[in-house]
């Protein structure tokens, strides 16, 4: 009986595996031994370990090259064995008898027992004998070939591995275990072969069962399908293998190609039968890895193979490319700040790279070097940004954009990797913020590591010995003479504190200094929403930041101030004009008459300011110069004296961070107490449906009702102020009732009044001393936490605002013994120059402030924050 099938594998010179496709089922396999013949020149027991009969291999190759993948017919002659019987028969390729062909070509000979087989017909036996006799007569194949053996290595020694590394070698795939694991016979020479398992480089395939008919233990999704795909295309096919590395278990990893250098891994990925293996990228090379990733992405997008029916991860945000970004600041080797034309800043973390970490002792010494490398490369440059994703806020860091950055067409991360200034992030599978050049980054970083570049150097760089020369005034003076003698020296502006004040590094001298532009004053800018700046303060700060932040400059030190800040001239790169003059020319600073006349550029400053005034630039936009008579005072603003209009006895209810306090007079709470005690909340009307800012209401609390005024309304809560205590309260609309007419503020004025603490300016919040300053002031006015002691107060009633000076009756002995004065004297506040009081009125408070600064008391512990509201300390 004839059967049909397809030749899947030629195991030896006389054994073949055939398959039969069955619709809806896994292919059935059948092993067939060719009957009556043998091709061995050596008996198996004559072959030692690591040896193989050459002629048997030659015949196997003869059959493999002619039968693999072909549709054939076959016949079963007999079988041997009972448990797993071996079937013996013949195979026919069309009308060609394979046994007869092998005998006629001298590739086999008849077994001795053939003549004793009963099932063979005499005619067929005669035909086989005739074929064998013809080959013997002609001296073909086995009848004349010298017996020979093949040296077959079953293990690759280290020396041999190094010798053949990255060399393409011809091979035949003999078995397939998984979609990425093959058993190959590698041909070093005709008589020297390697028989070994290897892994296909660049991919990882799911585990198969090795039993196509059922799922075995450890089988992964699509594992058997992946196995069958690779078997159908590679089993017993000619390929080229190039060993690139080995796994931790010693399994060789190889690039496998077929035909005209077709990468097998790429075809497996395109079929959705595997995923990309990241760890092998440095050994495979970025060009091949990019093609593999493209193949995987195509299969994923098509939803085939492993990706069939799977929900795909959301793609990264659509790439946004722009030429309108300028690098405004370098935070670290892997994080920069860029700004667009509208001055909107964006913090960017470079995709797939990580700069040296301060927390790692082996990397920390390189952090400054790497940051400086990036600064020189990028600061002030126009860059192209491609956004890949966003890193959510965590661990005290704000949300950051993950992106690739190119400068002059070159990828910044690639340049950093080549210089050994960053390490490469090993992403999790499915990360969408991976750099498209990740494989190339890994490759060049590996080269940098081998060459000991940058942070991979075998020796640590010398420690940073930069000295903070502005730490104290005394320390600054010790450096002054040396810096003055140096004249104009190269420097780097490390930070811009205001339009005219900076933090500067002088590498040649190994010092860091606070630096103030000599002879000019830039207007103060608002550092936070709670602060109020001066006109054109923000513009002045922006102008200096754009041109100086982290830029190479030259500075010439002239003097030092009382806080340790150095005063001098600053020149931008390639400029002959001092930046002091430039800032005045742009109308973003004024000449400081007191100090300018000591400057070598005094006349230039005065002339430049005159020109800016005439042109009406920025600060001088609405300036009208007037000629004053001898009796007129300078300035157009009215100044107030410290004359007290009224003395009252009060209790302070609350103190705001902006210097506003709410107080009540001791005799003013009687009417309110009586009215509130007579009020029955149950008798009032129902809750309010809505409220508006500024509206009065009654707040229902567990202890009774409170008169409140609405301050703000949000979705989460409503903020109200207790009009009788000044306290702010967050509440819900359901707690608010209409205010009865008997409790209206017209009927019973608020028990508290608002006033501003006179002559006192608390530190800005950014210094970290605002809350301690408020807390100190509260300690002075409270006899226990939250409860004010009776105080005497002097009211200074000015147009639109009341100012207040507080006294403790138990300790005050003169007008200068106020709590306002004591707060300044202890260093927890400064004299407020913006409240409009005369110089004579301010003088005692300024004197107290200066003494506190000299002693570094309170908020002046680390420096003078009143100089342009400085919030950077050293």
Does the pLDDT value for residue 558 go beyond 80?
A: yes
- pLDDT, the chain, mean: 86
More confident residue, 829 or 864: 829
Tokens of 84: 């797993």
DSSP 583-631: HHHTTS-EE-HHHHTTSTTHHHHHHHHHHHHHHT-GGGTT----PPPTT
pLDDT at position 776 is: 92
Does the pLDDT value for residue 350 go beyond 80?
A: yes
What are the residue boundaries of the structural domains of the chain, listed by start?
2-148, 154-307, 325-456, 467-620, 640-668+751-874, 670-750
Q: Which CATH number among 2.60.40.1220, 1.20.120.450, 3.40.50.1000, 2.40.50.90 corresponds to the domain 325-456?
A: 2.40.50.90
More confident residue, 643 or 683: 643
Does the pLDDT value for residue 280 go beyond 70?
A: yes
DSSP 364-397: HHHHHHHHHHHHHHHTT-EEEEEEEEEEPPBTTB
pLDDT at position 97 is: 95
Torsion on CA atoms 826, 830, 835, 840, rounded to nearest 10 = 70
Segment 698-742, tens digit of pLDDT: 888 887 788 888 888 887 889 988 887 777 889 988 888 888 888
CA nearest neighbour of 102 among 137, 157, 73, 62:
62
Q: Give the architecture-level CATH label for domain 154-307.
A: Beta Barrel (2.40)
Does the pLDDT value for residue 808 go beyond 90?
A: no
**pLDDT classification of 312: cutoffs 50, 70, 90:** low
pLDDT at position 43 is: 67
pLDDT at position 216 is: 46
**Distance (Å, whole) CA 452 – CA 450:** 5
pLDDT at position 509 is: 92
**pLDDT classification of 644: cutoffs 50, 70, 90:** confident
**DSSP β-ladder status, 753-757 and 660-665:** antiparallel
Q: Give the architecture-level CATH label for domain 2-148.
A: Beta Barrel (2.40)
Does the pLDDT value for residue 556 go beyond 50?
A: yes
SS3 217: coil
Residues 6+ apart with CB under 8 A from 51: 149, 150, 151, 152
DSSP 709-776: EEEEE-SS-EEEEETTT--EEEE-GGGEEPPPGGG-TTTS--S-EEEEETTEEPPPGGGT-HHHHHHH
pLDDT at position 323 is: 61
Q: Which CATH number among 2.60.40.10, 2.40.30.20, 2.30.30.140, 3.40.50.2000 corresponds to the domain 670-750?
A: 2.30.30.140
114-118, 542-546, 583-587: range with lowest mean pLDDT:
114-118
pLDDT at position 673 is: 61
CA nearest neighbour of 524 among 498, 554, 485, 487:
498
pLDDT at position 330 is: 94
Residues shown for the chain: 874
**Dihedral sign (CA 776, 777, 780, 782):** negative
Mean pLDDT on 686-704: 80
**pLDDT classification of 674: cutoffs 50, 70, 90:** low
More confident residue, 473 or 41: 473
More confident residue, 41 or 535: 535
Tokens of 868: 């342009």
CA nearest neighbour of 403 among 374, 437, 373, 376:
437
pTM exceeds 0.75: no
Segment 172-199, tens digit of pLDDT: 999 999 999 999 999 999 999 999 999 9
Give the DSSP H or E segment for 849: helix 839-854
Mean pLDDT on 210-217: 47
**pLDDT classification of 555: cutoffs 50, 70, 90:** very high
pLDDT at position 118 is: 84
- In this structure, are residues 37 and 100 in contact, taking their beta carbons and an 8 Å threshold? no
**pLDDT classification of 857: cutoffs 50, 70, 90:** very high
pLDDT at position 428 is: 84
pLDDT at position 35 is: 94
The 8-class DSSP code of residue 299 comes to H
Classify each residue of 127-154 as buried b or exposed e, where b means 16 or more C-beta atoms within 10 Å of its C-beta.
Answer: ebeebbeebbeeebbbeeeeeebbebee
DSSP 412-465: HHHHHHHTT--EE--PPTT-S---TTHHHHHHHHHHHHHTT-GGG-SSPPPPP-
Q: Which CATH number among 2.40.50.90, 2.60.40.10, 1.20.1200.10, 2.60.40.420 corresponds to the domain 640-668+751-874?
A: 2.40.50.90
Asked whether this chain's domains 325-456 and 670-750 adopt the same fold, the reply is: no
Domain boundaries 467-620, corresponding CATH code: 2.40.50.90
Share of the chain above pLDDT 90, in %: 48
Alpha helix (H) ranges present in 187-336?
223-234, 264-270, 281-284, 286-302
Tokens of 63: 């059959």
């Amino acid at each position: 009986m004839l059967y049909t099938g397809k030749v899947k594998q030629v195991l030896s010179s006389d054994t073949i595996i055939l398959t039969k496709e069955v619709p809806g089922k896994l292919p059935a396999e059948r092993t067939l031994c060719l009957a009556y013949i043998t091709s061995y020149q050596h008996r198996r027991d004559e072959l030692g370990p690591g040896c193989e009969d050459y002629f048997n291999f030659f015949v196997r190759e003869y059959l493999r090259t002619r039968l693999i993948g072909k549709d054939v017919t076959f016949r079963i002659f007999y079988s041997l064995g009972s448990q797993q019987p071996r079937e013996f028969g013949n195979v026919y390729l069309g009308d060609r008898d394979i046994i007869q062909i092998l005998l006629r070509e001298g590739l086999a000979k008849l077994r001795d027992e053939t003549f004793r087989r009963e099932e063979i017909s005499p005619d067929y036996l005669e035909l086989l004998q005739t074929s064998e006799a013809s080959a013997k007569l002609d001296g073909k194949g086995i009848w004349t070939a010298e017996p020979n053996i093949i040296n077959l290595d079953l293990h690759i020694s280290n020396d041999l591995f190094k010798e053949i590394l990255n060399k393409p070698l011809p091979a035949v795939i003999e078995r397939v275990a998984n979609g990425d694991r093959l058993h190959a016979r590698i041909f070093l020479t005709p008589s020297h072969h390697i028989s070994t398992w290897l892994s296909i480089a660049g991919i990882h395939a799911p585990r198969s069962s090795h039993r196509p008919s059922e799922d075995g233990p450890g089988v992964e999704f699509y594992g058997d399908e992946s196995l069958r795909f690779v078997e159908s295309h590679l089993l017993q096919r000619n390929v080229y293998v190039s060993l690139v590395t080995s796994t931790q278990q010693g399994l060789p990893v190889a690039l496998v190609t077929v035909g005209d250098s077709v990468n097998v891994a790429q075809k497996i990925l395109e079929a959705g039968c595997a995923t990309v293996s990241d760890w092998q990228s440095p050994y495979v090379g970025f060009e091949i890895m990019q093609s593999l990733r493209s193949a995987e992405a195509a299969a994923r997008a098509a939803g085939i193979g492993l990706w069939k029916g799977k929900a795909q991860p959301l793609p990264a945000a659509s790439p946004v490319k722009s030429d309108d970004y300028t690098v405004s600041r370098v935070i670290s080797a892997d994080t920069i700040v860029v700004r667009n034309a509208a001055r909107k800043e964006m913090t960017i973390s470079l995709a797939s790279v990580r700069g040296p970490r301060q927390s790692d002792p082996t990397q920390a010494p390189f952090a400054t070097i790497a940051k400086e490398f990036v600064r020189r490369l990028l600061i002030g440059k126009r860059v192209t940004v491609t956004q890949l994703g966003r890193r959510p806020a965590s661990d005290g860091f704000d949300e950051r954009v993950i992106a690739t950055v190119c400068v002059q067409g070159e990828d910044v991360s690639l340049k950093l990797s080549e210089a050994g200034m960053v390490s490469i992030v090993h992403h999790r599978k499915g990360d969408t913020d991976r750099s498209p050049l990740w494989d190339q980054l890994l490759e060049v970083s590996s080269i940098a590591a081998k060459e000991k570049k940058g942070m991979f150097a075998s020796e640590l760089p010398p420690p940073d010995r930069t000295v903070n020369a502005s730490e104290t005034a005394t320390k600054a003076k010790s450096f002054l003479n040396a810096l003055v003698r140096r004249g104009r020296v190269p420097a780097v502006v490390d930070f811009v504190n205001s339009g005219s004040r900076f933090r500067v590094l002088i590498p040649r001298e190994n010092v860091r200094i606070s630096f103030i532009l000599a002879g000019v004053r830039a207007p103060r800018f608002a550092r936070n929403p709670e602060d109020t700046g001066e006109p054109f303060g923000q513009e002045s700060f922006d102008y200096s930041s754009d041109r100086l932040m982290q830029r190479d400059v030259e500075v010439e030190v002239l003097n030092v101030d009382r806080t340790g800040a150095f005063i001098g001239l600053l020149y931008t790169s390639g400029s002959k004009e001092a930046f002091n003059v430039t800032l005045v020319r742009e109308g973003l600073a004024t000449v400081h008459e007191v100090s300018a006349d000591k400057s070598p550029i005094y006349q230039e400053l005065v002339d430049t300011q005159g020109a800016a005034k005439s042109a009406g630039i920025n600060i001088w936009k609405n300036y009208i110069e007037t000629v004053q008579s001898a009796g007129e005072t300078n300035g157009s603003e009215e100044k107030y004296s410290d004359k007290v209009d009224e003395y009252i006895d009060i209790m302070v209810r609350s103190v705001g961070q902006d210097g506003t306090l709410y107080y009540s007079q001791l005799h003013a709470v009687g009417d309110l107490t009586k009215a509130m005690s007579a009020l029955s909340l149950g008798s009032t009307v129902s809750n309010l449906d809505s409220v508006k800012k500024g509206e009065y209401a009654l707040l229902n609390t567990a202890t009774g009702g409170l008169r409140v005024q609405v301050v703000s309304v949000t979705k989460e809560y409503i903020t109200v102020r207790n009009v009788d205590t000044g306290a702010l309260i967050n509440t819900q609309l359901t707690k608010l009732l209409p205010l009865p007419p008997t409790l209206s503020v017209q009927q019973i004025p608020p028990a508290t009044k608002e006033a501003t603490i006179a002559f006192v300016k608390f530190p800005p919040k950014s210094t970290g001393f605002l809350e301690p300053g408020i807390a100190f002031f509260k300690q002075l006015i409270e006899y226990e936490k939250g409860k004010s002691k009776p105080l005497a107060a002097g009211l200074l009633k000015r147009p639109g605002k009341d100012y207040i000076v507080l006294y403790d009756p138990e300790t005050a002995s003169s007008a200068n013994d106020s709590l306002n004065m004591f707060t300044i004297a202890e260093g927890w506040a400064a004299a407020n120059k913006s409240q409009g009081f005369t110089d004579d009125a301010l003088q005692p408070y300024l004197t107290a402030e200066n003494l506190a600064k000299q002693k570094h008391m309170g908020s002046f512990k680390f420096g003078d924050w009143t100089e342009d509201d400085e919030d950077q300390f050293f």
